[in-house]
Amino acid sequence: MSLQAVVIGASAGGVQALSQVLPALPVDFPIPVIVVVHIPPRRDNALVDLFADKCRIPVKEAEDKEPLEPGTIYFAPSDYHLLVEAGGSLALSSDEPVNHSRPAIDVLFESAADAFGSELAGIVLTGANSDGAAGLRAICAAGGKGIVQDPASAEVATMPHAALAAAPGSQAMRLEDIHPALEAMIAL
């Protein structure tokens, strides 16, 4: 299995967790990384500016109908669901919140599972609800790979526990082990 994309979901404590995962990606990282972090509505998304200074690959806010580019990190904008369409373009939606969240991790993960099937890795990081669990189950059911932050290392372990329960084939790992695991999956 060779990966075509990575999707990441995080909530409470997510900025700190992402600060260990995203800057570790090398300048030649060959696939897109699509990220949903629970952000309160009507708040400016400071994540792009924060991570653009820390990462070695381009970081941007996702735009509707934007084609995915290799080696780019896309953040969901505040108050919009982010989806991946067949053919590898992004879509934004103002549909109702899912799991009390918009953007919702499950919405991204389920659409990406449909678009990429077995060529997708989904990563659930720290968070205080179960968003991402159903989406990670969908990724694994499509033949993709599931990675979950080790609950013992998560600032809030609720999301990692829910994801591991919903997608038992997923691997729990420490944040510093995620980048090497992705590199190994890409090399397959």
Catalytic residue numbers? 11, 38, 131
3-state helix, strand, coil in the chain (%, to 5): 35, 25, 40
DSSP lists the bridge partners of residue 10 as 37
Q: How far is CA 82 from CA 27, 78, 101, in A?
A: 25, 10, 12
Per-position b or e across 142-155, b if 16+ CB within 10 A of its CB: bebbbbbbebebbb
